[in-house]
Chains A and B, each alone.
Chain A
């Protein structure tokens, strides 16, 4: 599947989840395909889509999906350990693995030799799924909505290529404010509910 097919599958499976999309072609495509208030687009901050999404999930407590790329995740592998340790069971990180830094000219990443699914399992994530087709990806993302007792990481093999959507022109504070409004309308958990579920202890 190509990037847009994968993103369409993720959006279909995620539905009304809180979605944090990484920078570059991913955010641009999601914005172009289906811009909604439950989407938070990162315009920079490579490697931080998962941490931002974990922060949202710790309070939102509903279905939260981070969309990352292999190059971006490789920049911050420790985030997978944090997901395993603290993320709520309705958290899902989808890693679109195309083996290249596509936004900067498709230079090869280390995911050609580093098995990201194995890294996720090694970090303590019990629900790790590897997918290569859009229908299986959509099902997996949908399944992550259910409380399976632990967060999920999906590694999706994607073909590089495809013209990205246009640049996102909304001012970043406006993007954040819209996402905050969507979260607030759903109600955040009380401070007492912001407990630390430390699976490492």
Chain B
């Protein structure tokens, strides 16, 4: 697959995975890696109700409210927003046992052009797994780009807390 073909292919796989997992709303402070996914599949007629929030922790609040109302929201953020959201995640969905999926782009790793992303990039996985105690799924190819959503949904439901899908740069995936 050429680099130009990757973004649309991964976007389509993710959308299929969201349908498999019965996601019914998307909340986001978007990452540039989500551009094609949002424009072609999510925030389109026949896609999903899409809410652009002002801060990632606000998105945690909205997702918690939607979860309380029995919905299955997806919160899509960049990992730089994870740090902003630690207390929100621990004091809301973790404290009250509210499951939902967080799709998180993993900036600041190999090939990152912006040095400002690096410290959070290096800390992200530890924060999610060790501090938040959240189940994680890693997207590593086209198949996992789809299956990660049902895996994450089930893991969140079992754990009674958010489950994270970690999304590397699609341009660096096979």
A interface residue numbers (CB < 8 A to B): 20, 40, 42-45, 47-48, 50-60, 76, 78-79, 81-82, 86, 172-173, 175-177, 179-180, 183-184, 188, 191, 194-196
Contact = CB atoms under 8 A, between A and B. Distances in A.
B150 interface: no
Nearest to A195: B49
Interface of B: 24-25, 49-51, 53-55, 57-71, 73, 87-88, 91-92, 95-98, 160
B69 A55 contact: yes
Nearest to B67: A55
B88 A45 contact: yes
Given A51-B60, A82-B53, A183-B68, 12 more contacts: A42-B91, A48-B61, A48-B64, A53-B65, A55-B64, A58-B25, A59-B66, A76-B57, A172-B95, A176-B96, A191-B24, A195-B49
B61 A59 contact: no
A176 B68 CA distance: 7
Contact of A55 (B24, B62, B96): B62
A44 B68 contact: no
Contact of A188 (B64, B71, B91): B71
A173 B68 contact: no
A175 B91 CA distance: 13
A50 B54 CA distance: 13
Contact of A78 (B50, B55, B70, B96): B55
A194 B49 contact: yes
Residue with the greatest number of chain B CB neighbours at <10 A, chosen from A45, A47, A79 = A45
A48 B63 CA distance: 11
Q: Is the interface of A mostly helix, strand, loop or mixed?
A: helix
Contact of A54 (B62, B67, B91, B160): B62
A48 B71 contact: no
A179 to B, nearest CB: 6
Contacts of B59: 51
Nearest to A77: B54
A162 B129 CA distance: 42
Nearest to A196: B49
A82 B49 contact: no
22 contacts: A20-B65, A40-B68, A43-B95, A44-B87, A48-B57, A48-B64, A51-B62, A52-B62, A52-B65, A57-B65, A58-B25, A60-B69, A82-B51, A82-B53, A82-B58, A82-B62, A172-B96, A176-B98, A177-B97, A183-B69, A183-B70, A188-B69
Given A48-B88, A52-B92, A81-B54, A194 B68 contact: no
Contacts of A54: 61-62, 65
A180 B70 contact: yes
Contact of A45 (B53, B55, B63, B91): B91
B70 A194 contact: no
Contacts of A177: 97
